[in-house]
Amino acid sequence: MTKILSKDIFEITCDAGTKLPFDNLYHNLKERGIYRCIACKLSLFSSADKFDSGTGWPSFSKAIIDDHINIKTDTSHGMIRTETICGRCQSHLGHVFND
């Protein structure tokens, strides 16, 4: 996968890294469309279900198809969080926040 993804994107998707809030192309994007996994292109979210959570990352109220998103418990960084991952390739997508 390192031949497909940039070093930064590989770190985010494969090593559960993160970008700084508000430092991404999609948090403020208003265009209609489908958000897909950057690694395997699986359809994940619709722009119709996107909302402004104020976190600086794109936020969605639901997946296009429930099985396209998996969740797991993330205990890194001394806290318990809910991580979302791609249902097909297991790429890291982000974390669930209580909005």
- Kindly report the average pLDDT of the chain as a whole number: 90
Q: Mind listing the domains of the chain with CATH numbers?
A: 22-96 (2.170.150.20)
Q: Over pLDDT 90: what percentage of the chain? A: 58
Q: Are strands 59-60 and 92-96 parallel, antiparallel or unpaired?
A: unpaired
Q: What's the pLDDT at 27?
A: 83
Q: What is the longest distance spanned by two Cα atoms in the chain?
A: 37
Q: Report in angstroms the alpha-carbon separations of 55 from 5, 67, 90, 94, 95.
A: 25, 25, 23, 12, 11
Structure confidence at residue 86 as a pLDDT band (50, 70, 90): very high
Stated pTM of the model: 0.85
Q: What's the pLDDT at 1?
A: 55
Residues paired with residue 85 on neighbouring β-strands, in sequence order: 70, 92
